[in-house]
Amino acid sequence: MSSGDKLFGRLLNRPSSAPSDSVDSPSALSVGLQLYLDDGGHVNHLTGPLRHLLAQQQSGNRTPHLLAYLLPHSILAVEGKPADWQGQLLDLDFFSLAGPPLHLRGWVQPQGDGWLLQLLDIGDLLAERRLTRSREQSQLLAAQVRDQLRLCGLARLTPVLGEQLERLSQRFSIPCLAVALLDEHEQAWLIHQHYAAHDAPELWHNGQSLGTGLDSLNGAAPQRLLANEQPRLTGVFGPSEGFAVPYRDAQGVAAWLLCGCYPVQQHAADLSEHDWLQLAAAVAAPLLERLREHRHHLQLERLETLQALLGSGWWEVLGDSAEVLLAPRLAENLGLDRARLPLTDWFDRVHPADREELRGRLQALQDEGQPLELCVRLQPAGHSPLPPWYRLQGQSLGIGAERRLVGFMLDISDIKEQQQQAAAAHARLDNLIARSPAVIYVQRYDEGALQPVFFSASLQSLLGWSLADCVDDGLVRHVHPQDQALYFERSRQLLREGSVSTRYRVLDAQGNAHWMLDEARLLRDDLGLPVEAVGLWLDVTEATLAAERVRASEERYRILVEDSPAMICRYRPDLTLTFGNRPLANYLECTPEQLPGVNLGGWMSEEQLEAFVQRLAQLTPEQPVSTAEINLRLPGREHAWWIWSDRGVFDEHGRLLEVQAVGRDNTEVRRSQQQLTQSAKMATLGEMATGLAHEINQPLNVMRMAIVNVLKRLGNGDVQVDYLTDKLNRIDAQVQRAARVVDHMRVFGRRSEIEQHPFDPLKAIEGTLSLLAEGLRGKGVELRIREATFQLQVRGYVDQLEQVLINLMVNARDALLSKREADRDFQPWISVYAEHDEHVVRLWVEDNGGGIDPRLLERIFEPFFTTKPVGIGTGLGLSVSYGIVENMGGRLSVRNGDEGARFCIELPIAEDDQITSVARPD
């Protein structure tokens, strides 16, 4: 084997035989570097062209050691002595005077008394290997990026592109990376997506327009751009250095891969232009492919949607087979089971009235290339009475044997139907105008004046004129002399404001005056100059005269309302007055002009207002009237009661629009009723005087006896503390008993409150028994009381309900005592108890007095009717009681039971929303 073969084999790292002891030929020694070493590894002599590039590290020895020439990491390869290196291939890095180290490869062989270290420069070999490895990694990365972008779904294309840009940025240490695509509409470059490292500046943002600056670059190769190198590109990279890599397709440069703040020669010196182009293609090619695919998909969807909405589609006549091919959606809309069918079948779908014309026009398109444009009717489908209309358009493409007939069909049934409806509407309008008191006119603007140029035919039948009678200021002469100034003002307003609506009188051919409603609008040209006025005359003579009659009638009605002694008003559902007559204004101490805007609720208490609003909410179109007594606090009065009647006014949907009300003052009647009730109450107290005296005398007798016994003990000197304490407690209990009776008499005797309040009806039973129980027992009348455990509320006056119970129990007592006078063995009793159901509470008062004569049951509640002897009863007790219960919304009734009379008081249970927090039971 020659020395050259040995050298090439060692460079390729191939096994070879041990080096021989002979010295290589001079030709071999004339290349590379030869170091002559002694047995200790010291360099005795250097030869070869590379010796001038070596830089020796400082060493204290006169004969430097081989290690003085090597970089530190190469020392491990030559540890020991040269004899130990024999048979090994050595890769050593030497210090170089040029700066970069020298990469050498060689071997050791004996040479005389020493050793020869033969070395060759492998720097180019290592650079080529490094470049190859970098290129392989770049190709692998490009393939991975390309696969990721091609395989991801369209929904994840944006995040995957961002991930791949981040991957490229980290792999090649690029601070800012972006993909710029060409906007086909604006012919400018846009940043489609960018990535910036966390410590990098934000050079771009998504959607940013870069203009056309990139077009100035050579799109065939990557461009390295220094800071401020090209002023036109400062909008792309700013003041920083950048690197732009193009991607070309069949149309030219379609995308740019932009690397910002990136000195490419420093960070990616191993990558060639081809590698950068390959990376840009790996990003841009699948991205553009997916975006075009997405746009194509959207276009197909839009086309399908458009065809479905419009009922349209394309068609093509296949000349070689005399068949027609239809779009699937069109075939479906036409009710065909297939998209390809013979021409004859297609013609059969066309209405016979249009079939021959379509056949001829299609033949002309095929023979002469004359464009097809035709509207045809199709055969009605199913039970449809009207045939669908389609617009056909077609053209000829190609020449000779390659000619194709293509076109589209558009469903214009709605348009045809609208045209037919418009034509019918025009006919109806013309007929209506001809038969109605309306005239359509057109006035041309000419030198500042409006001259009539058109009148509808109804002018002759309505006024007896023609257009010739109105030209040359003839129209003004037909206007009533008293309204000519109004007509001139109408024309000025029309020219000034563009529209007008007024009425004036016009004289017909016989001289009769017609009230005409004139509504006109001025039409202008593009410069805003008047062109003509289009208007309508409507004969409103009857309506005008009727309005005058209504106005006169309203005046009479107003006088009637103002002079009425009743209060009359109108108000909205929120109780805001819109009208009120003078009596209402006098009550509210204001003028009628001040009433609109006043709220009726301001004169009511919260409870009265709530009840008033609830009553209005119950008005319906079927039952629009409601009457009730309302309580108000008017100026200068403590309270006033009005009998108030409301009538609701509703719209077509049943919504309450307004309330019309009439009221009269019922204050004096109400006060008389209150005085009558109070008088009856005081009369009841008078009748109970004997029983009340007994109620008070009995505790006084007990106290007197206790005091006498205490004084007697004190006189005898026999005084014990326990005895005195017991007597004093007994005296205190009797004082409290008498005080309760007196207090309840005072509460019962005072006037009732103005407004009703919720209360527990069982409290009224307790109060009644506290006044009557002892007196009844003292007269020998047994009280049978059933304890009630429920807690309910009713609305009214607790003292007045006590008055009713007292009247019923006193009447029962008198009847029982009268019967006992006749029968000494008679055992009288009175029973009082309460019960309730879901809606009402019932209080029962029964006795065993034998009942009431059935002939008197119907009259027992009449005023001044009594069965007692003359001078004993007034006949007002039961009548007042009946009125009290009725005023509380209840009912007082009586019937005979097995042993006597049974009186029942029924009161409605108060709703939860009618019970205040103070009156609500715990």
Three-class HEC string of 237-295: HCCCCEEEEEEEECCEEEEEEEEECCCHHHHCCCCCHHHHHHHHHHHHHHHHHHHHHHH
Q: Ranked by mean pLDDT, which of 53-62, 162-171, 376-385 comes out on top?
A: 162-171
Homologous superfamily of the 436-541 domain (CATH): PAS domain (3.30.450.20)
Alpha-carbon 674 to chain mean position: 57
Distance CA 556, CA 120 (A): 132
Distance CA 88, CA 248 (A): 51
Reported as a pLDDT band with limits 50, 70 and 90, residue 702 is low
Pick the CATH number of 3-121 from 1.10.1200, 3.40.50, 3.30.450, 2.50.20: 3.30.450
Placement of tokens 């919504």 in the chain: 655
The three-class DSSP label of residue 378 is strand
Homologous superfamily of the 312-417 domain (CATH): PAS domain (3.30.450.20)
Mean pLDDT of 458-473: 84
Q: Residue 28: what pLDDT?
A: 45
Distance CA 791, CA 780 (A): 32
Q: CA separation (Å) from 870 to 853, 864, 866, 874?
A: 19, 11, 9, 9
Torsion (CA) 409, 410, 411, 417 in degrees, nearest 10: -120
Mean pLDDT of 161-178: 86
Q: Residue 3: what pLDDT?
A: 41
Higher pLDDT, 440 or 26: 440
Distance CA 433, CA 440 (A): 8
Q: Where are the domains of the chain?
A: 3-121, 128-298, 312-417, 436-541, 564-665, 674-914
User: Is the dihedral angle over the CA atoms 777, 782, 787, 793 positive or is it negative?
Assistant: negative
Q: Give the class (CATH, top level) of 564-665.
A: alpha beta
Higher pLDDT, 219 or 446: 446
* Same CATH fold assignment for domains 128-298 and 674-914: no
Q: Residue 109: which of 20, 4, 13 has the closest Cα? A: 20
Q: Give the class (CATH, top level) of 674-914.
A: alpha beta
For residues 899 and 848, the answer to whether their CB atoms sit within 8 Å is yes
Pick the CATH number of 128-298 from 3.40.50.2000, 3.30.450.40, 2.60.120.20, 3.40.50.300: 3.30.450.40
Question: Which tens digits make up the pLDDT trace of 739-796?
Answer: 656 655 555 544 455 567 888 888 888 888 877 777 788 788 898 888 888 888 998 8
Reported as a pLDDT band with limits 50, 70 and 90, residue 532 is very high
Res. 427: pLDDT tops 80 = no
Distance CA 182, CA 192 (A): 9
Q: Residue 20: what pLDDT?
A: 40
Reported as a pLDDT band with limits 50, 70 and 90, residue 152 is confident
∠ at Cα 701 (697, 707), nearest 5°?
140
Mean pLDDT of the chain: 79
**Pairing state of beta strands 782-785 and 829-836?**
parallel
Reported as a pLDDT band with limits 50, 70 and 90, residue 10 is very low
Question: Which tens digits make up the pLDDT trace of 213-248?
Answer: 777 776 666 766 654 455 556 667 777 788 888 888
Mean pLDDT of 510-514: 90
Least confident stretch, 341-355, 553-567, 622-636: 553-567
Q: Residue 688: what pLDDT?
A: 56
Placement of tokens 């060692």 in the chain: 10
Mean pLDDT of 18-29: 42
For residues 861 and 882, the answer to whether their CB atoms sit within 8 Å is yes
Distance CA 802, CA 749 (A): 11
Number of CB atoms found within 10 A of residue 650's CB: 15
Q: CA separation (Å) from 886 to 656, 681, 796, 862, 893?
A: 30, 17, 10, 14, 11
φ, ψ at 391 (rounded to 5°): -100, 125
